[in-house]
Amino acid sequence: MTVWILAVLVGALVLDRIVGDPPALWARLPHPVVLFGHGIAFFDRRLNRETLAPATRRRNGVVSIVLLLALSVVVGLVLSDLFRALGLVGFVLEFLVVAVFLAQKSLGDHVAAVAVGLRTDGLDGGRRAVALIVGRDPQALDEPGVCRAAIESLAENFADGVVAPAFWYALAGLPGILAYKMLNTADSMIGHKSVKYVDFGWASARLDDLANWPAARLSSLLVAAAAWALQGSQAARQSLSVTLRDSGLHRSPNSGWPEAAMAGALDIQLTGPRIYGGERVSEPMINGSGRPVATARDIETGVDLFYASCTALTVLAAFLLAAALIV
């Protein structure tokens, strides 16, 4: 972690928290994640044909994600050299690039919109808003289900939309954050266990699990720190206790950590049975002893905890920067 990288990270976290993703900008320019998606789709069309044997599709998936990650690293190295050669102008450009790959304000706004939808238009409004951020069938959700879905999405995406890109940038600079975002985009597009992608997306899904492992654990600590700051030591202890006890109940090796931390901090039940694509997925409840009925108020409190967790991440980055400057 160099002083340059840590200073850029602090600036990017602050900028993303205040500005987020300006819709006017991305209405005129393609978002980098959209470009990543085009690259993934290119390999998908050519190397994931239904006529290929499963073993061949799995091999092609490995080759595809390795090439895409290698390209991301090369682009990151070129941009790093360019920005450093430009001095102060390059510093500003780099923290703008890093801010693009963070999702604090946009995530908070989308989740807060679910509470607004419930309060203004009832269950239909909540379902419309939550459909924008979750993959499950919104029509199968009652009001507590809509609230749980929003909070679960908030917790999971805090880990892989904020903490993970910040972590990989701090560790490996622009090559790290570009490779992570490419991998995370690939996982969302081809990493699921449908008939079409169970083989081709296997490598992307496994690598994404590996890449998110440290950030998921760190995110749970940040949520507990936020609970301590906003609600006191008891909420922080409960957040950590539920995390250590229930994080393994989730089907994902990573998502259970921030979700359990949030469930403990809010004292509500999360996950449990849900419906994806008309199929029921059964999972045990995280924090089964918590309140069974989540409300719009819980969403709002969850968003407050999310922003406090983002602040804790920024403070951590600033502390590391100060330590690097002293050394």
| pLDDT score, position 185 | 95
The list of the chain residues with pLDDT below 70 reads 1, 26, 273-281
Q: Which two tokens stand for residue 172?
A: 């490996």
Q: Where are the domains of the chain?
A: 3-213+296-326
- Find out whether 136 and 149 touch, Cβ atoms under 8 Å: yes
| pLDDT score, position 64 | 96
Which residue, 224, 293, 282, 210, is CA-closest to 250?
A: 282
| pLDDT score, position 277 | 54
In this prediction the pTM is: 0.93
Which residue, 222, 238, 243, is CA-closest to 307?
A: 222
- Find out whether 12 and 4 touch, Cβ atoms under 8 Å: no
| pLDDT score, position 274 | 64
Q: Report the alpha-carbon distance of residue 131 to residue 81 in Å, rounded.
A: 41
Which residue, 215, 294, 286, is CA-closest to 251?
A: 286
